Chains A and B, each alone.
Chain A
Amino acid sequence: MRAFLAMLALAAAAPAHAQLDIGRLLDLGKKAVEVAPQIQQATKEYTVEEEVALGEGIATGFLGAVRLHGDERLQRYVNRVGRWLASQTERPDLPWAFGVIDTDTINAFAMPGGTVIVSHGLVKRLTSESELAGVLGHEIAHVLKKHQLSAIQSDAGWSAAATGAKAIAADRIGRSGDVLGLKSQLANAGVDLVKDGLFLRPLDRGMEYEADRLGVVVAARGGYDPYGFVAVLTMLAQVKPDESGASITFSTHPSPADRLAELEKAMPALEKYANQPQVEGRFRQTVGAK
C-alpha cells in the first residue's frame, strides 16, 4: 500500500517539468502579459514542487513577523515527533519541517508542502508527547489534504492576485534578479499571501473537523494514545479567549466544544489504541528544560 501511494506521488510529480518550463520561459524574459493565461492554468493544479515553493514563501513571510524559539533542543525534539508521524502517512516524502515560534499565544499553523509551526504558548500547556502528536497530527492532516492550498485557490481575490503577483514577480525576477532569494515566483506570491492577511484567514469548518479526525489516526499510527488530542481540545475549552492571546485560535477555528462533539463520532474506532504510550517523561524533560 505504501509503495502504491509512493508511486501515485511520483505520478503526480511528473507533470512538474511541463510547468517548470513555464517558469523558464518567464525567466527568459518573455512578457508577463503573454503568459498570464498559462500561469492561471498552472495555479489550478500545483505540482509538489510548486506546493512546497508556495509554502516556503508563506513561511518566509510568516517568520518575518514571528520569531523562532531559541531552544534548539526543543526544536529538534518537535521535528523528530513530527517526522515520525509524517512517515506514517500517504505523503511521507514531503520535505517536512517543524518549528516552534517564540510567542505565548496558543496556535499552530500548517503551510502547504509540509512546513508546520506551533507556538511555544501551546507547547508549554501540553503535558505529554501524545498531546503534541495530536497537535502535529492535526497540522499534518491539513498538509495531507492540501486544505490551505484549496482555500488559497478558491479565494477569488487570490486567483486574481496570484496571477498578478506571479506576473509581477516574474517580471521583477526577470529584470533585477530574485531579490528575496526565493527561486520561485510562487514563493514570492506566498510572501504576499502573508502580507495580505490571506494566509491567516480561517479555513472552512469542515476542513478543521477533517483535520481533527485524520490527525488522531496519524497519532495512533505513530503508536501514541490518540486521546492525547482529546486532552488538548479539553485544555483549549478551558482557556479563556482573552488569556495569552488565545483569541487567534478561537477566531480561526470552530470552538473546542464543537470540535470535541464532532471528534466524538470518530473516536470509538480508535478506542482500542487508547492504551498506547503517552510518553510523558521525555516530553517533560524536553519542554520543561529551558
Chain B
Amino acid sequence: MFRCLPIALLVAALSLIGDASAQEAAATNRATDLKDRPSADARTIAPLAADAPVKVLARQGAWTQVEAGAQRGWVRAFHLRFQSTVETSSGGGGGITSFFGFGARQAPTTSKVATLGIRGLTPDDFKNASPDPAALKKLQSWRADKASAERFAREAKLAPVAVAYTGGGS
C-alpha cells in the first residue's frame, strides 16, 4: 500500500512527459526515410511520403526521433517542418506560406523598418531612454579572459577543432 503511492506518482510524471513531447507536431517537408538509428547507414524502417504528419520525440545531432503512425524511428532534422503560425517572410516572389493550413496572419516583411510591437518594449522606450554607461560597465565587469574561458571549456571536455568556413563566398 505504502509502495503504491510513489509508483503512481512516477506513472503520473511519465505520462506528463509523454504529453509534453506529443505536443511537438511536425510533418515531413519531402519524401524521406524512417531509419532505425540516427545514422545514414541505418536500416530503413519505412519510406515516408512528403507532408506525412509525425510527432517529435527526441533530437540527436542531424537526426530527429519521430513517431510516424504506429512506427518509431529517426529522420533527418532538415526533412521536417514544424507547426507554427509564422509564415515565411521571403520577398523573392514566394509569397506567404502557411504551414498546416493555418491562416496567413503576417504580411511578408518588405519594409526595412522593424516593428517593435513587443510586450514592454517599444521604439519609444529607446527614443526616450537615457543612455546608461554604468550598465555597460557592469556588463563589461562580467567579461571572461581567454585563459579562464579555456579552463571552462576543458571542464566540459570541449576541445578546439580546426573547421573551415563553408560556402557562400564569404
Binding site for B on A (CB under 8 A): 56-57, 59-68, 72, 75-76, 79-84, 87-88, 92, 95-99, 103-105, 115, 129, 145, 180-182, 191, 194-197, 200-202, 205, 209-210, 213-214, 217, 220-225, 227, 230-231, 234, 237-241, 244-245, 247-248, 250-252, 254-258, 260, 264-267, 269-271, 273-277, 279, 282
Residues of chain A with a CB closer than 8 A to B118's CB? 105, 245, 247-248
Q: Note all chain A residues with C-beta closer than 8 A to B121.
A: 65-66, 103, 105, 245, 248
Among B62, B84, B163, the residue within 8 A (CB) of A239 is: B84
Q: Report the nearest A residue to B38, measured CB to CB.
A: A274
Looking at the complex, which of B12-20, B41-49, B65-73, B152-160 is the stretch in contact with chain A?
Answer: B152-160
Contact-residue size bin, chain B (C-beta under 8 Å from the other chain):
35 or more
| CA of A87 to CA of B80, assembled, Å | 34
Q: Are A217 and B166 in contact (CB under 8 A)?
A: yes
Given contacts A213-B167, A241-B105, whether A87 and B150 have CB atoms under 8 Å apart is yes
For residue A76, give the distance in angstroms from its CB to the closest CB of chain B.
5
Q: Given the complex, which residues of A lie within 8 Å of B109, measured CB to CB?
A: 202, 250-251
Q: What 8 pairs across the A-B complex have the smallest Cβ distances?
A: A274-B61, A245-B118, A223-B158, A64-B129, A63-B135, A65-B129, A83-B149, A84-B149
Residue on A nearest B155 in the bound complex, by CB? A282
Partner of A214, one of B90, B159, B170: B170
Flag whether B88 is at the interface (Cβ < 8 A). yes
Contacts of A180 in B (CB 8 A): 131, 133
Evaluate contact between B139 and A60: CB separation under 8 angstroms.
no
Contacts of B97 in A (CB 8 A): 257
User: Per DSSP, are chain A's interface residues mostly helix, strand or loop, or mixed?
Assistant: helix
Q: Is the CB of A213 within 8 A of B168?
A: yes
Complex interface: chain A residues within 8 A of B164 (CB): 217
- Closest chain B CB from A287 CB (angstroms): 14
Interface residues of B (CB under 8 A from A): 24, 59, 61-62, 77-78, 80-91, 97, 99, 105-106, 109, 112-121, 123, 125-127, 129-133, 135-136, 138-140, 142-146, 148-150, 152-153, 155-168, 170
What is the CA–CA distance of A256 and B131 in the complex, to the nearest angstrom? 32
Instruction: Give the chain A neighbours of B149 by CB distance below 8 A.
Output: 79-80, 83-84, 87
Number of residue pairs A-B, CB distance < 8 angstroms: 247
Alpha-carbon separation in the docked complex, A255 to B126 (Å): 25
Chain A proximity of B14: nearest CB distance (Å): 19
Question: Which residues of the partner chain A approach B116 to less than 8 Å between Cβ atoms?
Answer: 200, 248, 251
Q: Which residue of B lies closest to A279 (CB)?
A: B156
Q: How long is the Cα–Cα vector from A92 to B83 in the complex, in angstroms?
A: 39
Q: Which residues of A contact B142 (CB under 8 A)?
A: 72, 75-76, 79, 97-99
Measured between alpha carbons, how far is A97 from B164 in the docked complex, in Å? 25
- Docked CA distance A234–B83 (Å): 10
Where chain B touches its partner, the secondary structure class is loop
Other A-B pairs, 6, CB within 8 Å; known A64-B135, A251-B109: A59-B139, A62-B126, A99-B139, A191-B131, A194-B126, A200-B116
A258 touches B88 (CB 8 A): yes
How far does the Cβ of B97 sit from chain A's closest Cβ, in whole Å? 7
B78–A80 contact, CB under 8 A? no
Q: Is B115 within 8 A of A247, CB to CB?
A: yes
Complex CA gap A95/B144 in Å reads 10
Across the interface, do A83 and B144 meet the contact criterion of CB distance under 8 Å? yes
24 contacts between A and B (CB under 8 A): A60-B133, A63-B136, A63-B139, A64-B126, A68-B139, A75-B142, A103-B121, A105-B121, A180-B133, A201-B114, A209-B168, A213-B165, A230-B78, A237-B81, A247-B117, A247-B118, A248-B116, A251-B116, A254-B88, A258-B89, A267-B62, A274-B61, A276-B161, A277-B157
Q: Is the CB of B166 within 8 A of A266?
A: yes
Q: Which residues of A contact B62 (CB under 8 A)?
A: 227, 230, 267, 271, 274
| In the complex, residue of chain A having the shortest beta-carbon distance to the beta carbon of B143 | A97
* Chain B residues within an 8 Å CB radius of A273: 161, 163
Judge whether A213 and B129 touch: CB under 8 Å.
Answer: no
